[in-house]
């Protein structure tokens, strides 16, 4: 669009230059011709006046000697006098042209190599007429026209070339705000909710930028409020689901108990997926968090859930020493929630577990007192026999994306160690 606008402005400059300079060039050519013919007519009238004066003083038509004397006094090789008897004195084009032009009363006649200025001389009381012609060649008729046209052409080129940067700057002032608005819209559509524009350009474009910013602010507020409501609802569902699971485990009929527990596990998976989706959206801005602070804050919730199942929970977390990890807080919570939920799902009630945080490198360890894992393939999606297998797969994926990994530790029950990647400082990045 910028190029098209610039081309439009340049085309307008070209049309204006041509529309002004071409008539001016034609006018220069016409003025040069008129100037040359006016000089020739002046010479021809001078000769005619001199011949009339001779005839007035002698009373006879001027003879050859008088005519030659007059022509000699003007010192011009382009003057010609056509005598009454048809003879020619001086130099010039064919006399037939002069005679024909004089007969029609013309004062200028075109000839092959130029033009003639014609002045007929009629003597009162004398039977005869003289015709004085002054010849102007084509070079004289076009004298100065070529240089004038070159100057006008140069001026036209200067105008056109000079209009290019001006046209580009003007087009840029219109196109750049539109492009910025388009880029911000694409960034916003791609998930960057902080994308905004600086309103600029023409009034209509600037108003569009301000309207986009207002719309983005409003949508951001609505999305944040919606995420908060969904996250709050999702977390509040975990406690009644855990209580429902305890009640289902007390059902005497094995078939009904397994069916109920299966449905509850499926419901837990749906709630977990909902929380994961909300957290992925919330983690778009921050990419670094303090591991002990995040874990300590979340463990308050899991202590309540564990107490409902008569489990003992130990949290070995030192909040006074920050341990930064290369993940947003939402992703760390996703790992913690999935691991704790795995313990609650795959161990019987009253089995305790321990959650600990260590540094160098940052590690999150969850150890339970159950019977251990049936296989080391539990971190592969769909491998779990008691659920969907998504939870531990999410843990592995998140750890690897941060630059870490997941390993199994030693212990009588199940010990899962999640190592997170550490943030890279600007100095290390260079």
CATH number assigned to the domain with residue range 2-147, chosen from the 4 options 1.20.120, 3.30.470, 3.30.450, 3.10.20: 3.30.450
CATH 3.40.50.720 at 286-430, yes or no: no
**β-strands 313-316, 353-358 pairing:** parallel
pLDDT class of 382 with cuts at 50, 70, 90: very low
Q: Which H/E stretch holds residue 294?
A: helix 291-308
* CA-to-CA dists, residue 2 to 44, 73, 183, 229, angstroms: 63, 70, 16, 45
Q: In the chain, pLDDT over 70 holds for what percent of residues?
A: 81
Give the pLDDT of residue 354: 92
State residue 292's pLDDT score: 92
Distance CA 396, CA 389 (A): 11
- pLDDT tens digits for range 403-419: 889 988 877 788 899 99
pLDDT the model gives residue 419: 93
In tens, the pLDDT along 168-213 reads 777 777 778 888 888 888 888 877 878 888 888 778 788 888 898 8
Convert the pLDDT of each residue in 102-157 to its tens digit.
Answer: 555 567 877 778 888 888 887 765 566 788 888 888 888 888 888 888 888 888 88
**Residue partners of 142: CB distance under 8 A and separation at least 6:** 29, 32, 33
Cα→Cα distances 187→190, 195, 197, Å: 5, 6, 11
Higher-scoring residue by pLDDT: 227, 389: 227
Mean pLDDT (the chain, rounded): 78
- For the entire predicted model, the pTM comes to 0.41
Per-residue confidence (pLDDT) for residue 116, from 0 to 100: 81
Compute the distance between CA of residue 367 and CA of residue 378 in angstroms, rounded to an integer.
16
- Could you tell me the residue ranges of all domains in the chain? 2-147, 286-430
Band the pLDDT of 426: cuts 50, 70, 90: very low
């Amino acid at each position: 669009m910028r190029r098209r606008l610039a081309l439009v402005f340049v085309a307008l400059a070209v049309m204006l230059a041509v529309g002004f300079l071409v008539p001016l060039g034609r006018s220069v050519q016409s003025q040069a011709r008129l100037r040359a013919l006016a000089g020739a007519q002046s010479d021809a009238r001078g000769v005619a006046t001199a011949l009339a004066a001779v005839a007035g003083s002698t009373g006879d038509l001027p003879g050859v000697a008088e005519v030659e004397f007059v022509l000699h006094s003007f010192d011009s090789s382009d003057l010609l006098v056509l005598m009454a008897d048809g003879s020619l004195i001086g130099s010039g084009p064919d006399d037939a042209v002069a005679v024909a032009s004089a007969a029609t009363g013309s004062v200028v006649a075109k000839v092959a190599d130029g033009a003639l200025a014609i002045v007929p001389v009629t003597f009162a009381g004398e039977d005869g007429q003289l015709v004085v012609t002054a010849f102007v060649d084509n070079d004289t008729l076009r004298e100065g026209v070529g240089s004038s046209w070159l100057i006008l052409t140069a001026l036209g080129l200067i105008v056109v070339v000079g209009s290019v940067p001006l046209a580009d700057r003007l087009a840029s002032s219109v196109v750049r705000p539109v492009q910025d608005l388009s880029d911000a819209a694409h960034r916003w559509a791609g998930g960057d909710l902080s994308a905004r524009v600086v309103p600029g350009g023409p009034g209509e474009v600037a108003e569009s930028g301000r309207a986009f910013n207002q719309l983005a602010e409003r949508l951001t507020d609505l999305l944040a409020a919606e995420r908060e409501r969904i996250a709050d609802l999702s977390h509040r569902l975990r406690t009644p689901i855990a209580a429902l699971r305890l009640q289902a485990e007390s059902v005497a009929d094995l078939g009904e108990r397994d069916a109920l527990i299966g449905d509850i596990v499926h419901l837990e998976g749906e709630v977990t997926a909902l929380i994961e989706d909300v957290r992925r959206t919330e983690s778009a801005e921050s990419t670094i968090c303090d591991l002990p602070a995040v874990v300590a804050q979340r463990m308050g919730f899991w202590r309540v859930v564990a107490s409902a199942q008569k489990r003992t929970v130990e949290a070995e977390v030192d909040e006074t020493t920050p341990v930064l990890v290369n993940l947003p807080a939402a992703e760390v919570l996703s790992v913690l929630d999935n691991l704790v939920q795995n313990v609650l799902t795959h161990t019987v009630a009253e089995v305790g577990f321990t959650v600990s945080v260590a540094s160098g490198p940052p590690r999150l360890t969850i150890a339970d007192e159950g019977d251990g894992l049936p296989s080391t393939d539990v971190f592969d999606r769909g491998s779990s026999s008691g659920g969907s297998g998504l939870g531990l797969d999410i843990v592995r994926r998140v750890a690897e994306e941060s630059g870490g990994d997941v390993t199994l530790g030693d212990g009588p029950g199940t010990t899962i160690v999640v190592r997170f990647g550490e943030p890279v400082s600007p100095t290390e990045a260079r």
